[in-house]
Structure 1
Amino acid sequence: MEGLRAENARLREQLAARDLELARLMARQRALEEQLAEAGQLVERLDYRLAERERMSRMSRARFVLLEQQASRLLKLYVAIHRLHEASQREQVLVAIQEIVINIIGSEELALFRVDREARRLMLVTALGVDAERLCSLVPGQGPIGEVAVSGTLFLAPTPPRAGDRRPDAVSACVPLRMGGQVHGVLALFGLLPQKRKLDEVDIELLTLLGEHAAPALHRADLLRLAASSSAMASGRAA
């Protein structure tokens, strides 16, 4: 009997030891699970930070490319504006304006008008890539071009037309050509090039700058032509 009680005591001790070991192992398991959960959360945070850094890096690269493009366009515009003011002939000024619109803005369809206030008409000075005949009878206040001649406010179409659009109102932008506080002309851009979906903020700044410099450049070329003509006439009379 004593032997049986001793064996039972020994078994109970072994069972208690096993229970303790099991409890220890379960506590260890819970600790490991908590550590694993914390590690998972850390990995998620690191993945998020890495993804955020990659996103910021892509945005920085895209911003850098955009700034490079804008700087290149501004440099081209600076050179073109310089040519505009260096031109001594009206034809040279018109060619410089066309090059700005084609190479910097992105349209091969344009027309430039002079405001004739006495005749109350818009006189077509030059046109490129469009039917000039449909542009010879415009008056101030009529359509986007005529409205800009009166208001002196830059017009931008909400949805610019594509190149080749022959609708009468297919105008992407109308730029007032100012000098001395008055509108002396209007530059109209029609269809944009295929790769040009719309006019952005930089385009608006460029067009505004062009509107400020084109009229003085044309006026200067006209004065030089008149001066050269007067000098030639004077030389002829002297001879």
Structure 2
Amino acid sequence: MQRDESKGAPSMPEPPEQLTRRMQELQLENEALLTRVRRLSTERQRLESRMADLARLHTASTRLRESGTDAELVATLQEIIKDLLGSEAFAVFELAPDASALSWLGGMGVDSELLRRVPLGEGPLSFVVQSGRSWVSEALPADDLALSACIPLRLGSRVLGVIAIFRLLPHKPSFEATDHVLFELLETQGGMALHCARCPAGGSPLTGGS
């Protein structure tokens, strides 16, 4: 029986250049895995943040629908604008029947006497009333009474009032993408809440009492 001389023979060590190349390949694979883990972690955080934003928007929508008076509406808007939009200076106005001026309904952090009645002509407030679309300043206002954003309160295409947002909180340099989603919610749900506050008791929010 012929003996297999190769059995039991020690394996030859890999040449140094092969070991170096193999270590480099393993390092690249490890870096790729770490990059993937970081990307998945970032994506998870983004999804968690998105879910939290959606939950806050749902809560805001529910609270707006439950606002039955001017005081309740302004109180709800105060929480939404402070907690979600990041501003402690805003005013809520109702549009006059002839659309010539805005009348003060409530607000926070601004002088109500200066804004008791705001005639319309030119500027962001007039643009929002005429177009039915939100307006956002391109730069942070330096003056306390300069506008950061204006949001129409609409019932369909009809503008019933306007939310004027002034300075933002120091930790918030500008509005973000999720803020514009909140603008749309305030336009429709806030407009419906303002309309309902004007309805007679027991009347339909769209057609009034029969």
After TM superposition, is the score higher than 0.5? yes
Paired AA for residue 46 in structure 2: L
* Native 8 Å contact 1:141 1:150 kept in 2: no
Structure 2 SS opposite 1:135: coil
Deviations 1:116-166 (A, max 9, x none): 2516012121121123344345333422222211122221222334xxx53
Amino acid at match of 1:166: D
Question: How many angstroms does 1:68 deviate by?
Answer: 1.8
Deviation, 1:47, is 2.9
Q: Deviations over 1:74-102 (max 9, x none)?
A: 21221222122123322112211111111
2:109 equivalent in structure 1 = 129
Q: Identify the match of residue 143 of structure 2 among 152, 166, 171.
A: 166
Secondary structure of 2:159 counterpart: strand
* Seq. identity, %: 31
Change (3 A) 1:142 1:117: farther
> How many correspondences in the alignment?
191
Q: TM-score, normalised by structure 2?
A: 0.77
1:84 counterpart = 2:64: yes
Q: Report the secondary structure of 2:181's partner residue.
A: helix
Residue in structure 1 matched with residue 31 of structure 2 by the alignment: 51
Change (3 A) 1:153 1:88: closer
RMSD: 2.6
Deviation track 1:181-208 (CA, whole Å, cap 9, x = no partner) reads: 1111111211222222221111111111
Partner of 1:105: 85
Question: Which AA in structure 1 matches 2:149?
Answer: A
In the alignment, the residues of structure 2 paired with residue 49 and residue 131 of structure 1 have an alpha-carbon distance, to the nearest angstrom, of 62
1:132 alignment partner, SS class: coil
Residue 206 of structure 1 aligns to a residue whose secondary structure is helix
Residues 2-151 of structure 1: matches in 2 within 5 Å? 32=15, 34-36=17-19, 39-40=20-21, 42-118=22-98, 120-151=100-131
Q: Which runs of 5+ in 2 are unaligned?
A: 1-13, 204-210
> What does residue 180 of structure 1 align with?
156
In terms of fraction of residues, the more helix-rich structure is 1
